[in-house]
Amino acid sequence: MGTDSYKDKKVITIGIVRDLTGLSERQIRYYEERKLIFPERSAGGSRKYSFLDVELLVEIANKIEDGVQTHEIRKEMLKAQKKENQGEVRRKMIQGQLNAQFGLRKGPASK
């Protein structure tokens, strides 16, 4: 999913997130303090969330309800992010090898 997706846009206020998730504003801010969610701030300082943030908050709340601690959730998130980054690096390396193998170059062709 690209960054152009509507799900990535940080446009939802904390009040709407509260209504969508059933979490209190205090819980939402706590998850931010615990570095589980990263809202953007408007010029006036209001938190703005994306639809992906809303989905993540529901997932976090379910894990908390199942007895998982916030530090465990954070550790799991970092592990998943690292794995995703490694996959991206691997993809770029393979693409570079293919480009080298077939004489492809990025940008304008050299003469």
What tens digit of pLDDT does each residue of 52-107 get?
A: 999 999 999 999 999 999 999 999 999 998 988 888 888 888 888 888 888 766 55
Q: How many CA atoms does the CB half-sphere of 97 hold within 13 Å?
A: 6
CATH class belonging to 6-101:
mainly alpha
Q: Bridge-partner residues for 73, per DSSP? A: none
pLDDT tens-digit profile of 4-62? 688 999 999 999 999 999 999 999 999 999 999 999 999 999 999 999 999 999 999 99
Residue 40 CA, chain-centre distance (Å), reads 12
Calculate the alpha carbon distances from 57 to 28, 60, 62, 78 in Å: 8, 5, 9, 16
- Rounded Cα distance between 81 and 85, Å, is 6
pLDDT of residue 107: 52
Query: Which residues fall within 8 angstroms of residue 108, CB to CB, at 6 or more apart?
Result: none
Extents of the domains making up the chain: 6-101
Closest CA to 20 of 48, 58, 65: 58
